Chain A
Amino acid sequence: MAQVNMAVNLGGLRMKNPVTVASGTFGAGQEYNDFVPVDELGAVTTKGVSLHGWEGNASPRIAETPSGMLNSIGLQNPGVQVMKDDYLAWLAPHDVPVIVNVSGHSMQEYVDVIEALDDDDRVDAYEVNISCPNVDAGGMTFGTHAPSVEKVVGACRAATNKPMIVKLSPNVTDIAEIARAAEASGADAISLINTLLGMAIDAKRRKPVLARVVGGLSGPAVKPVALRMVWEVHKAVKVPLLGMGGIVTGTDAVEFMLAGATAVAVGTANFMNPTATHDVIEGIRRYCDDQGVTDVNELIGGLQC
């Protein structure tokens, strides 16, 4: 059997296979290293980092919902310095590209985070998170309005020459318009989708399940929405896409690539199965073998309709 070429190029970031992780579901790889050596991944995407760290939201922070879950972690993170001293230091000896997810409460904070990291050669790319639904300032408030997307993405672009991925929120009327704004402002790639804003209610107590009342829905439940949005954005922009939303199996990942994704991220599935990333990589390879696909890049946008 011919060896399948699994390598992809995500806007300048070379990945040995198309699989990374969704920010916030995998730490920086250390917590899952007993199950999946981080070197196996096409890239590791870190938990979102802000300049000086955030405490995050009150508990309860999660709720299980049909075929999915809600979270309102609120981007708890220890800040750029710990990212450098601990997470990047741990990742340094590993042979895996590092995508740092960048968060901010203000436009300036996004730029400050990038500037604080940009001369660190352990950082291979950024994912600019303008789509977190669980913070009051920044996050999704920047990502749901094309003019503010252009401003924040443009400011981040001016701060770095490294590959810059912009992560979009699905909580918009027209995701293609937002994607075009990100592309026009200098995004090298677009990742989607972040979580869908939702809520869960405890009828007996007449209370919301989450302390913050609302949270972001993820898991298999969101996969059809994510596929639709990847497909719409694929038709709207030329930059490569990092597709995510409910990917559990290699077949799920292939579906995202057929819809237009160059690479994919495994998120909530890590919680279900700690070897999910490994299983997805092997599943893509097996699909290619079975289908006579010699280069995984053939799958990108290969949907026939």
Chain B
Amino acid sequence: MEHNQLVCEDARVLANEGVGPRLFVVSLESPRIAARLQPGQFVHLQVPGMPDHILRRPFSVFDCDPQAGTLDILYQDLGYGSHRMTDLCAGDVASQIGPVGHGWQAPTGTERALLIGGGVGAAPLFLHAKALLAAGVAVDVVLGAATKAALATYDAYTALLGHAPVVATDDGSFGFSGFCTQPAADLLAAHAYDHVACCGPEPLMRIVAQMAADAQVECQVSMERRMACGVGACLSCVVDTTDGKRRACVDGPVFESSKVVW
């Protein structure tokens, strides 16, 4: 496998805005990472202003403009680090390592793909959708969220696809009422797919992996683990696979779902 050159770069915050309940998008100027980031890769970011919290945090990249040298991260205010992230202001600087990991790679000859994003898991699929569309692949997107207000990527996907994505909300406030697995199953039954990609809570990915296996469609999932080094050295973030324990950071985060031991 070709060596994925990593850089450690001081990224400048361009904006950091709320986009939903406890949901934020931070835009960063990070030209060396943005220039080479592939869909599904992530950055390992040191949140400034919390020196007694020593570890970096992995964040998947929502959108990226290699020409402008910028990237956007959609994140949820969930723990100490992500809460401190919400304090970032334009002009602040955060060190980040990137572009880390093995991203999405649809099988050669893919004509139609189904992308399923649960919660903030919608974010790392966006660049994948962009790349697939640019390659002439037909792309169906299913987004799941707790509520309509939490569908932070809805407008971006609508603009990208030229039509609205299929939506499910847990509370029925928008789209299908219930989990996004149902509309995903309906689409899988209705169309012949060559590739499924899913990111979201692990139970969602497990169910989607099973549905894809039943439909005999190739499927990839993006796994999340507690991470220390983010470069493949410390073996903190391993995922159980049919090839043994593999590192989420550099062997993943995207894995063939058939190889994940759920």
Which residues in A have some Cβ–Cβ distance to B below 8 Å? 24-27, 31-32, 34-35, 47, 55-56, 59-64, 66-69, 71, 73, 76, 219-220, 268, 270-275
Provide the bound-state CA to CA distance between A47 and B236, in Å.
13
Q: Could you say which residues of chain A place their CB within 8 Å of the CB of B227?
A: 62
Tell me the minimal C-beta distance from B203 to chain A in angstroms.
16
- Contact of B53 with A64 in the complex, beta carbons under 8 Å: yes
- Contact of B233 with A27 in the complex, beta carbons under 8 Å: yes
Tell me the minimal C-beta distance from A195 to chain B in angstroms.
13
Q: From known contacts A59-B238, A71-B236, infer whether A32 and B231 are also in contact, taking CB-CB under 8 Å.
A: yes
- List the 4 closest pairs (A to B, CB-CB), nearest first: A27-B233, A31-B233, A62-B236, A31-B232
- Contact of B228 with A27 in the complex, beta carbons under 8 Å: no
- Nearest B residue to A268, CB-CB: B54
Most buried by A among B5, B226, B237, B250: B226
Q: From known contacts A25-B229, A56-B235, A62-B228, infer whether A272 and B56 are also in contact, taking CB-CB under 8 Å.
A: yes
Tell me the minimal C-beta distance from A129 to chain B in angstroms.
15
- Contact of B232 with A27 in the complex, beta carbons under 8 Å: yes
Which residues in B have some Cβ–Cβ distance to A below 8 Å? 5-8, 46, 51-56, 95, 97, 225-240, 244-245, 250
The residue that A25 contacts in the complex, of B8, B55, B95, B234, with Cβ under 8 A, is B234
Provide the bound-state CA to CA distance between A67 and B8, in Å.
22
- Nearest A residue to B8, CB-CB: A274
Q: Could you say which residues of chain B place their CB within 8 Å of the CB of A35?
A: 6, 8
- Nearest B residue to A219, CB-CB: B54
The residue that B226 contacts in the complex, of A47, A59, A67, A272, with Cβ under 8 A, is A59
Q: Name the prevailing secondary structure of the A interface residues.
A: loop
- Contact of B226 with A63 in the complex, beta carbons under 8 Å: yes
Pull 12 A–B residue pairs with CB atoms less than 8 Å apart, ordered by A: A25-B233, A34-B5, A35-B6, A56-B245, A62-B55, A62-B234, A69-B54, A73-B235, A268-B228, A272-B56, A274-B8, A275-B8
- Contact of B234 with A73 in the complex, beta carbons under 8 Å: yes
- Contact of B228 with A69 in the complex, beta carbons under 8 Å: yes
Provide the bound-state CA to CA distance between A243 and B239, in Å.
33
Query: Besides the contacts A24-B234, A55-B244, A271-B228, what 14 more A-B pairs have beta carbons closer than 8 Å?
Result: A24-B235, A25-B233, A31-B232, A31-B233, A35-B6, A60-B226, A61-B238, A67-B51, A67-B52, A73-B234, A219-B54, A268-B54, A271-B56, A271-B234
Q: Could you say which residues of chain B place their CB within 8 Å of the CB of A76?
A: 235, 238, 245
- Contact of A61 with B54 in the complex, beta carbons under 8 Å: no
- Contact of A71 with B228 in the complex, beta carbons under 8 Å: yes
- Contact of B233 with A272 in the complex, beta carbons under 8 Å: no
Q: Could you say which residues of chain A place their CB within 8 Å of the CB of B6?
A: 34-35, 274
The residue that A61 contacts in the complex, of B52, B226, B231, B250, with Cβ under 8 A, is B226
The residue that B235 contacts in the complex, of A61, A220, A270, with Cβ under 8 A, is A61
Tell me the minimal C-beta distance from A73 to chain B in angstroms.
5
Tell me the minimal C-beta distance from B218 to chain A in angstroms.
26
Provide the bound-state CA to CA distance between A35 and B239, in Å.
25
- Contact of B233 with A270 in the complex, beta carbons under 8 Å: yes
Q: Could you say which residues of chain B place their CB within 8 Å of the CB of A220?
A: 54
Q: Could you say which residues of chain A place their CB within 8 Å of the CB of B54?
A: 64, 67-69, 219-220, 268, 271-272
Provide the bound-state CA to CA distance between A84 and B225, in Å.
29
- Nearest A residue to B80, CB-CB: A64
Q: Could you say which residues of chain B place their CB within 8 Å of the CB of A59?
A: 225-226, 237-240
- Contact of B56 with A55 in the complex, beta carbons under 8 Å: no
Q: Could you say which residues of chain B place their CB within 8 Å of the CB of A68?
A: 54
Q: Could you say which residues of chain A place their CB within 8 Å of the CB of B231?
A: 31-32, 34, 274
Tell me the minimal C-beta distance from B15 to chain A in angstroms.
26
- Contact of A270 with B229 in the complex, beta carbons under 8 Å: yes
Provide the bound-state CA to CA distance between A213 and B235, in Å.
18
- Contact of B55 with A272 in the complex, beta carbons under 8 Å: yes
Most buried by A among B55, B225, B229, B234: B234
